[in-house]
């Protein structure tokens, strides 16, 4: 009788209830505080209206396809992430005993037989980047801008780092005497610690932030204990009438400059961008981070930016 009661109770537990419990359970483990918000938004927009108040045990392949098919070819990246989120929630529900059997949101050997390959339908979009020949003129205008976002963007360009790495930077990560910024693994896309050699101009910019120091963050937001908004630098570009480029695109600007105008080896340039080595055999031997060579590269880059 107890087992029957458990089964009856499980039949009343909705997919949305399980999704909310899953998000709450994983919230603290996600490195990006906006991750939970993204999960909630995609599930609320696409999954909940289709699954409605159905129990999680009733979610089958037909329902999953009803969610994914309308956006698989038009919003492929969103659809792909959504599928993975649905799969994770259903796995969680299975472990909890709220459902049983195969996961209907599984891709390999299941949905991949029903949906066209992502590579066939997804258009590759690159972040609009500034040509490196135009960079020095841009930097003059950037340095004339006031405010925290302008200083943060200049540091981002000089270090070829990502938005979240810059806005999340704290004082404890910097050794300004040695000219090293050590970004911990949990803040890196590849989940691997990244040591960034700081050119002289970047060191000067960070030191200047000490004069307006408020809390732990190098580039604080409006509230002392929060970092600069992840939209602040993009909004700065808009104010500068540069809607034609993106913040992330400056990494491409750096890579084009390094590849086309310098003699630094490819692995040094890729290491500067904290890119992982795709070849597993090559990666097994490349255990160093080429820091000394990267330091020379980044100083040359800073000189070019100037």
Torsion of CA 133, 136, 142, 143, to 10 degrees: 170
Percentage of the chain exceeding pLDDT 70: 88
191 or 209, higher pLDDT:
209
**Average confidence score pLDDT of the chain:** 89
* Residue found under tokens 């390094």: 258
pLDDT of residue 12: 79
Give the global pTM. 0.62
Q: Cα–Cα distance between 174 and 196 in angstroms, integer?
A: 9
Closest CA to 268 of 241, 295, 248: 295
**What angle do the packed helices 135-143 and 291-305 form, to 10 degrees?**
80
**Sequence spans of domains, the chain:** 2-121, 132-305
pLDDT, average across residues 263-292: 75
Q: Which helix (H) or strand (E) holds 260?
A: helix 249-261
Choosing among 1.10.150.130, 3.20.20.70, 1.10.10.60, 3.40.50.720, the CATH entry for 2-121 is: 1.10.150.130
- CA–CA distance from 148 to each of 142, 152, 162, 179 (Å)? 12, 6, 16, 21
Three-state DSSP class for 304?
helix
| Nearby residues of 201 by Cβ (< 8 Å), 6 or more positions away | 154, 158, 302, 305, 306
CATH architecture of the domain 132-305 equals Orthogonal Bundle (1.10)
pLDDT in tens, 135-154: 999 999 999 999 999 999 99
Percentage of the chain exceeding pLDDT 90: 71
Q: Looking at the predicted structure, is the pLDDT value of residue 4 above 50?
A: no
């Amino acid at each position: 009788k107890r087992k029957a009661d458990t089964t009856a109770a499980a039949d009343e537990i909705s997919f949305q209830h399980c999704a909310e419990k899953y998000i709450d359970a994983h919230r603290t483990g996600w490195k990006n505080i906006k991750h939970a918000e993204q999960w909630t938004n995609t599930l609320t927009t696409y999954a909940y209206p289709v699954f409605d108040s159905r129990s999680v045990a009733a979610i089958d392949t037909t329902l999953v396809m009803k969610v994914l098919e309308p956006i698989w070819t038009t919003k492929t990246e969103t659809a792909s992430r959504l599928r993975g989120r649905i799969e994770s929630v259903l796995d969680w529900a299975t472990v909890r005993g709220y459902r049983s059997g195969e996961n209907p949101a599984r891709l390999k050997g299941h949905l991949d037989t029903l949906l066209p390959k992502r590579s066939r339908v997804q258009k590759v979009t690159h972040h609009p980047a500034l040509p490196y020949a135009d960079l020095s003129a841009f930097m003059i205008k950037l340095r004339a801008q006031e405010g925290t976002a302008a200083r943060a963007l200049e540091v981002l360009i000089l270090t070829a780092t990502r938005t979240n790495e810059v806005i999340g930077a704290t004082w404890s990560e910097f050794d300004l005497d040695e000219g090293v910024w050590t970004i911990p693994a949990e803040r890196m896309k590849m989940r691997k610690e990244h040591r960034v050699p700081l050119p002289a101009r970047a060191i000067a910019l960070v030191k200047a932030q000490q004069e307006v120091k408020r809390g732990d963050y190098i580039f604080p937001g409006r509230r002392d204990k929060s970092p600069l908004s992840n939209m602040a630098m993009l909004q700065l570009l808009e104010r500068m009438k540069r809607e034609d480029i993106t913040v992330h695109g400056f990494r491409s600007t750096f890579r084009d400059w390094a590849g086309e105008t310098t003699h630094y080896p490819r692995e040094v340039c890729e290491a500067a961008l904290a890119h992982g080595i795709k070849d597993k055999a090559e990666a097994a031997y490349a255990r160093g981070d080429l820091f000394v060579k990267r330091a020379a590269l980044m100083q040359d880059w800073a000189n070019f930016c100037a």
